[in-house]
Structure 1
């Protein structure tokens, strides 16, 4: 639970169960105020390490309690007192899935300067991450529509023998009617706006990285100023030693210390941590790319099945073309179901990644609001 806002977890231990990010979520540099040996090229490391251990991170995620809680929320039946129309249920699910929720984010950002560039960047990230969760939830409904589209054909295929005798005329008529029904419905995966999400995160990441470079430059400037301050302090102490007693020397050294660690540097370090957390959040684009690839494959698979069905429909209720199309559908069905299951799992993982990144960024915002 973050101290600066009342973050409402979807379940009691959601935040506690989030595992430590691996390299696949980006290398967020741990910057301590006492560290003076920070490398100048830290901002270039994410590009070379973001693709490492993706499979490990995915396997760790699907075994995490918070990941399973996301599945439970989505698969749970709607509350009896809740409206049953699709839009209302969608808003209800999104309010349960998106963590920290929008109210917690607004409450935290209200304490920041609304005109600052940092506030605009992190606010834009939170907006994009919410849009991502909203789209993923809608994509889950698309998966349900795809399964509904194939359900009648799947039931027919399940009762037909794999290598049995030729179909009876009644079976041909039944298959033909189901082909008509299947062909009349649209491909549920035709409309996809994932490229818009990709572009949004790409532009945001570019803005964040430009600000990160400026932030690193200012921190290096403060480091050089601190080194210069230390040299001056030594010189002052040496000069005082000539004309003053040891007590005066101690007083001068203590008095010079605050100037060696300026408040501006602490603020810049806090800004750096928030920018790094926001940049790590943009790595969800890797999940979006995976989802987009699966959606493309599913769209192609459904179109291929529709093409087979149209071949049979063009021949009327003839037994041979109908039987051949049913064989093709039988062969394609396991592949389609595997793709649907794979897409569903990656959508859950995307929810998990978004929530983990939102928690990390909001934590940095709350930790440094008093600077």
Structure 2
């Protein structure tokens, strides 16, 4: 479990990861002065935590792209799991990091009525829903492979430029066509559009809060500048009046001494809030992975439907040799395309898991950092 106390340090260098890190969101602060203030806040925080969190680095590396793929492809532990749903929950608990318990534990220390808490909590919920759906989509990909496996075995034993099929071969192909046609297209159902809509609504809410946050930070900056000017004027006035009334000097020096306290604690909290919002907004970039996955699912659904149409064409003509042989030839031609699409889908799903975990770690780190202020 990733505890807040161990995540106080600056973001670790993740260049050693096997895949590139997600790009920064356009919603991130581009104001030079705001960026400088953020850097000052980083320096203040790192002053109390000078070393990069070893646990944070280890946790991120342990759930890299290759580790995630290994977890999902590992055979189920029969002694721990009772059914497919249990296996699914077990794998999801291993793949999704930080896990739900760690997230709930961190959010429990935040103000439950806070709009920021609501936004980051919603992001964690959406990212978990996305991981759950992607894991189910991997199982769908596996079912497609199982659907095609008997036909693939038949094509493997039939030479590409074979003479006309024998009647036993035709009967075998016809029976496999019946089996193939009796099963539904595993990619027929998809709710990726719901995920996109959820992230789109969340992005709108986060960007609205980002604008308010930037406005408050600018207000704090102007207030700080005004405080400094007033302090300087008071100091000069007190020095000029020191020969007249000693009490005036005391007032002036009090103003000078009070100048550092013109920077309110609220400003530091607002900067921490800004970092959380930016981390959540960056996490929404996973919608790009969702769009790619959605496109591949559409292509796969179309490819399977096309093959099912060819198979029905042969079935409508009974056990005639020529239609069966022509359909087998078409299926052989389509097979590499289907394999390539399935491979692309699985790779993008693994990368989506990796992107989600990285974003969740970054956001949880900012939440824990704010709680230490």
Q: Does 1:268 align with 2:265?
A: no
CA 1:20/1:83 → structure 2, altered by over 3 Å: closer, same or farther? closer
CA 1:206/1:162 → structure 2, altered by over 3 Å: closer, same or farther? same
Matched with 1:42 is: none
Matched with 2:256 is: 253
CA contact (8 A) 2:81 2:87 kept: yes
CA contact (8 A) 1:28 1:277 kept: no
Equivalent-residue separation in structure 1 for 2:132 and 2:363 (angstroms): 19
Post-superposition offset of 1:66 = 1.1
Matched with 2:4 is: 4
CA contact (8 A) 2:286 2:356 kept: yes
Return the TM-score normalized by structure 2.
0.85
Matched with 1:336 is: 338
CA contact (8 A) 1:4 1:108 kept: yes
Q: In the TM superposition, what are the counterparts of 1:1-371 in structure 2 within 5 Å?
A: 3-4=3-4, 22=21, 24-26=23-25, 29=28, 36=33, 38=35, 66-244=64-242, 252-259=255-262, 261-371=263-373
Equivalent-residue separation in structure 2 for 1:136 and 1:224 (angstroms): 47
Equivalent-residue separation in structure 1 for 2:35 and 2:71 (angstroms): 43
Post-superposition offset of 1:241 = 1.1
CA contact (8 A) 1:17 1:64 kept: no
CA contact (8 A) 1:17 1:65 kept: no
Aligned-partner SS, 2:113? coil
Equivalent-residue separation in structure 2 for 1:327 and 1:25 (angstroms): 48
Equivalent-residue separation in structure 2 for 1:367 and 1:64 (angstroms): 22
Aligned-partner SS, 1:36? helix
CA 1:233/1:36 → structure 2, altered by over 3 Å: closer, same or farther? farther
Matched residue pairs, number? Answer: 339
**C-alpha RMSD of matched pairs (Å):** 2.7
CA 1:364/1:178 → structure 2, altered by over 3 Å: closer, same or farther? same
Question: Deviation digits for residues 246-302 of structure 1, max 9, x if unmatched?
Answer: 99666642321111x111111111110000000111111100000000000000000
CA contact (8 A) 1:5 1:108 kept: no
CA contact (8 A) 1:219 1:268 kept: yes
CA contact (8 A) 1:287 1:350 kept: yes
Unaligned regions of 5+ residues in structure 2, if any? 37-60
Return the TM-score normalized by structure 1.
0.85
Post-superposition offset of 1:209 = 0.3
CA 1:123/1:230 → structure 2, altered by over 3 Å: closer, same or farther? same
CA 1:72/1:346 → structure 2, altered by over 3 Å: closer, same or farther? same
Equivalent-residue separation in structure 2 for 1:21 and 1:362 (angstroms): 20
Matched with 2:52 is: none
Question: Deviation digits for residues 90-148 of structure 1, max 9, x if unmatched?
Answer: 00000000100000000000000000100000000000000000000000000010000
* Larger displacement relative to structure 2 (85-94 or 241-250): 241-250
Equivalent-residue separation in structure 1 for 2:326 and 2:340 (angstroms): 23
